[in-house]
Structure 1
Amino acid sequence: MTAETLTTTPVAARTGAGDGGSAVRGDLVRALFGDDHRAAHGPWRALLTTEPFRRRSGLAPDAQLRLAYERLRTLNSTLDSAFRLAADPVSLANLHEWLSPVDTELTTVAGIHYNLFLGSLLDHDGEVRRDLSDFADLTRVGTFLCTELDHGNDATALETTAAYDRARDGFLLRTPHAGAQKFMPNTSTAGGPKSGVVAARLLVDGRDLGVFLFLTALTGARGPLPGVRVRRLPRRMGSVIDHCLTSFDGVFVPRDALLSGVQGRFDAEGVFSSDVVNRRSRFLLSIGRVTAGKLSMSACAVGSARAALAVAVRHGSHRLIGGVRAPERVSVMAHRSHYAPLSGALATAYAMTLLHRTVLRTWTEHDGARHDGAGRAEAERLVALAKAWITWEARAVITECRERCGAQGLLENNGLAALVTGIEGAITAEGDNLAIHAKAAAGMVSGHRPARPPADPAGRELTDPVFLRELLAAVECVELDRARAAMREAAPGDALGRWNAGATAALRAATAHIQLRAAEAVAEAADALPPGSAAGELLHTLGRLFALERIAPRSGDLLNEGFVEGRHISALPAEADRLTARVARQAQVLTGAFDLPDEWLADVPVTEAGYASVYDDPEGPWHRTAGQVRR
């Protein structure tokens, strides 16, 4: 197939005659979203088609912020139970996946309210039965106050205090210095009265018992409540959300404000007890909702990456440029230089989405005290690795899509600019990526022993997806060996120096591990489709392209360790080019399977063939007949 016919052949012809294209798309939709996709994803997808959630461009920042809270209340009105949503990590992730491309501010306040705030209250409500109706109907909006100016990823060192007052049987919240001010979103008066769960160091008779969460009213109809000080921070890059500094000056909260559980509780006589000895463990149990938050941030990333690709592929098919010979016109998608990066991005987006499904399923199977500590710890590590890798990859995909749309991609009305800045929030939220990636990598070095694939490449071919996944596994093993060797050679007694010696290789091993899990997720989805189906073959193509693009930079190590031969390295570029072209021919079908509503696409001018009409000037001279004079 020539470059000229690559993107001008009708979609139906490229996917099989008649309804073949629809059948492939249907199979891909089920692979991406599950057999119950209409039940699991349908309600959130449907919101995108309604008037309150249609795109609105040109709003001033304050109006954008008001709109986010208005949409939050509209969303809440569609729920049969806010508590049921807060208790279901799958539904929370699906909400983030569909709403993030529409309104990043809405997604932020919704995630904080339902997951971090209401979810924390539900998780620690076993011993105190609170009336949560104000939060269920959004009479009060919930916030989550953990990070401080001086403490982010080292949150166990938080300095806000909650001193137990025996006389009043409650706690006094205090901010001891400027660095202990809470550095978090949406505690301003925007959106109505707010309450928060505040992470503070519990002091009992001067003894430090660790960091716990306390339910605290923050603002009322007229502003911050007595003892609470809220100051708006400068606007965050690309966001109008109300990020604030929040501090406390002896704010009293009753004893039942403590979110209690096995990590700690007070009895009727005011005696503290805990089933957990370690203060760090108490804190991690208190903020357990952060793990569900990582899953939600990954969901934001996969939804935003898919939306960006849908826009870029449609625009690339519509945007015509001069051909080799005048007056020929071809789409920019006819050029390998244009479609190759989008093909790679499509492979990545499918791998990200299917990995996220696997990780979400793994977490829901291991969440809860009924599961052993080792299994839960491994699931938490997988969630962290996936969050870091998926959001980083989404940034690369979204940035590529923005660039492929040229100057149109920078305009607010085409939506890509908001996705570019929005993904930065996901990269930082619920733990900065590099910090959680490094923690997971350290855990892998000390306790992860993957099976080493055979170093026997004779007769193996790059067309074999099993061989490609074995090569990804080999990269992981090589880097783990390298990290452990470097750490053994480090000076004894220097824990930081030991970690620094192996950190680079350990981080690469962690990346290789999650890439392998993503490739396995694509293969599993492909194998679940009927044998020989066009959709299954297309998924295998995506999986092979995804693997080849990750193997290529590591080919030197693989050759040195005997996992590949020279012929494999020589053949790799041509094989990658062949798969790239195959994916590009199916780009419309692949993005169509993202199942974005027509209403959402209609609000993005650059996706339409006649997008230039959006910029038509009714007073332009081309609207006057020859000889007419403008008066």
Structure 2
Amino acid sequence: MSDDRGTLPGITVTVLPERVGSPVDHCVTSFDHVRLPRTALIQGEHGQLRPDGSLTSSVDSARKRFLHAIGRVTVGKLCMSASTLGGCRAALAIAVRYAHTRTISGPVAGRRVPLAAHRSHHARLLERVATAYAMTFLHREVTDHWITHTPTDRPAAERLVALAKGWITWQAREIVTESRERCGARALFPVNGLAEYPANADGAITAEGDNLAIWCKAAADMIFGHTLAPEPLPATGRESLTDPAFLRRGITAAERHWHAGARSDLRSGEADDALGRWNNASASALNLAEAYIIGQAAEAFATAITRTTAAGTRAALTDLYVLFLLDQVDSRSGLLLAEGALTRDHVRALPRTRHLLITRLAPHLPALTDAFSVPQEHLSSLPMLTAP
């Protein structure tokens, strides 16, 4: 595109304006009547140009050829997920350390207490830590699945990566925002390590496929290309809200509800109006996608616990797992009550159960974020964690 005198005729490179967050030297390259030789085109089995200009392809439609050509961005989705996951883990490590070093006036005159002493402060961080652990285990499982997938299950593997990327990056943005807020005004200064994290998460949400767009495709594929989850047993009221298996069944019930709804919504549209049918089913389908990937995160969390041998660590991780599931069930409690997956007594007991879990987990909060292995050199370089 260029030589030692600059860009070649017909080629224009325009530098994009500065954006917030970590700098990226993106630009727009445009072409005006620039002819390329056939040998300059990237080709493969999905599409090859013969010397006479005719196209041969092993893929039978233009749309499938396009999707095949951009399939390489799947690895990029895993990378975007990993980058924001690392960012939110670092943000939580910073926020938790700040919560234990920053002191404020206590209820007794003349005594100061750390921010972490307040339930209103540490509860929010604990809930985000539980989500970050679920994100971590999910990303590891999805990465392993992608590395070991076969050509036969490639479409399902690509869909799983897309769903994980959307959920992880959306959750990361929420986590880094919460972490910044818990550190107050000091965290608005970039020198303290948190100010740019939300903008970086925004970049990952859009990069390698905008989250909503890739979720729409994955959700549309799932309507009839994914097995309907089994119908869970109705709740009797005797189940414990700290039983992970019971809470996991609630996520399955939500997935089944939205899956059946998406199929019904799609069928109820006009047969000759493909866009109208999708618009009719899109809300249910996207809820299906969310419930499914949360279920996969829960499965990954449960698997990680089985690999933990130290009794104390296993107990803390189990409580953290239950807290993650409890938050997911609580946010869907109305639906789950209507579906019979929860009873009225369960719904009433949700706040108290969360309170007891957070009480047990609060002393472990520093250890849980220390396990993120954020370099001590980085934490020690942040003024708000070292200056009085």
TM-score norm. by structure 1 comes to: 0.59
2:273 — aligned with what?
A: 494
**What is residue 505 of structure 1 aligned with on the other side?**
284
Partner amino acid, structure 1, of 2:188: L
Q: Which residue of 2 aligns with 1:163?
A: none
Q: Which runs of 5+ in 1 are unaligned?
A: 1-217, 613-631
1:455 deviates by 2.4
Q: Distance in 2 between matches of 1:542 and 1:594?
A: 15
Contact 1:311 1:606 in 2 (8 A): no
Picking from 344, 348, 358, the partner of 2:131 is: 348
Q: Distance in 1 between matches of 2:385 and 2:3?
A: 44
Output the CA distance in 2 between the equivalents of 1:222 and 1:390.
45
Q: Secondary structure at the match of 1:236?
A: coil
For the 8 Å contact 2:84–2:200, the answer to whether it is kept is no
Task: Check conservation: 1:475, 1:558, Cα contact below 8 A.
Answer: yes
Question: Do the aligned residues in 2 keep the contact of 1:450 with 1:477 (CA within 8 Å)?
Answer: yes
Distance (Å, rounded) in 2 between the aligned partners of 1:423 and 1:471: 29
Larger RCO (alpha carbons 8 Å, 6+ apart):
2
1:387 paired residue among 165, 173, 183: 165
Q: 1:471 aligns with which of 227, 235, 250?
A: 250
Aligned counterpart for 1:561 among listed residues 339, 343, 362: 339
User: Matches of 2:271 and 2:315 in 1, distance apart?
Assistant: 52
Deviation at 1:584, TM superposition (A): 2.4
Which residue in the other structure is 2:305 paired with?
526
User: What residue in structure 2 maps to residue 572 of structure 1?
Assistant: 350
Corresponding residue for residue 72 of structure 1: none
More strand by share: 1
Q: Do the aligned residues in 2 keep the contact of 1:462 with 1:568 (CA within 8 Å)?
A: yes
Equivalent pairs, count: 387
- Determine whether 1:275 maps to 2:75: no
Map of 1:583 onto structure 2: 361
Aligned AA (1:388): G
Q: Secondary structure at the match of 1:260?
A: coil
Structure 2 vs 1, CA of residues 327 and 479 (structure 1 numbering), >3 Å: closer, same or farther? same
Instruction: Note closer, same or farther for the CA distance 1:336–1:356 as it changes in structure 2 (3 Å cut).
Output: same
Check the 8 A contact 1:316/1:332 in 2, yes or no. yes
In 2, Cα distance between the equivalents of 1:404 and 1:237? 21
Q: Which has the larger radius of gyration?
A: 1
Partner of 1:98: none
In structure 2, the partner of 1:66 is: none
Q: 1:317 to 1:501 in 2, by over 3 A?
A: same
CA apart distance, 1:403: 0.3
- Deviation digits for residues 439-475 of structure 1 (CA, Å, limit 9, x no counterpart): 1111111222233242232232111111111111111
Question: 2:109 is aligned with what amino acid?
Answer: A
Relative to structure 1, the CA distance from residue 378 to residue 330 in structure 2 (aligned partners, 3 Å threshold; closer, same or farther) is same
Can you list the C-alpha shifts for 1:374-407, whole angstroms capped at 9, x where unaligned?
x211111111111111100000000000000101
Code of the residue aligned with 1:313 in structure 2: it is: V
- 1:177 is aligned to none
Cα distance, 1:299 vs. partner? Answer: 0.6
**Correspondence 1:338-417 to 2 at 5 A:** 338-366=121-149, 371-372=151-152, 375-417=153-195
Overall identity of the aligned pairs, in %: 48
TM score, norm. by length of structure 2: 0.94
Equivalents in 2 of 1:220, 1:537: separation in Å?
63
| Structure 1 letter corresponding to 2:48 | R
The answer to which structure has the higher helix fraction is 2
Q: Does 1:460 align with 2:239?
A: yes
Q: Residues 228 and 259 of structure 2 are in contact (CA less than 8 Å); yes or no, is this contact kept in structure 1?
A: no
Distance 1:464 1:509 in 2: 23
CA RMSD, Structure 1 to Structure 2 (Å): 1.8
1:76 alignment partner in structure 2: none
SS at match of 1:251: coil
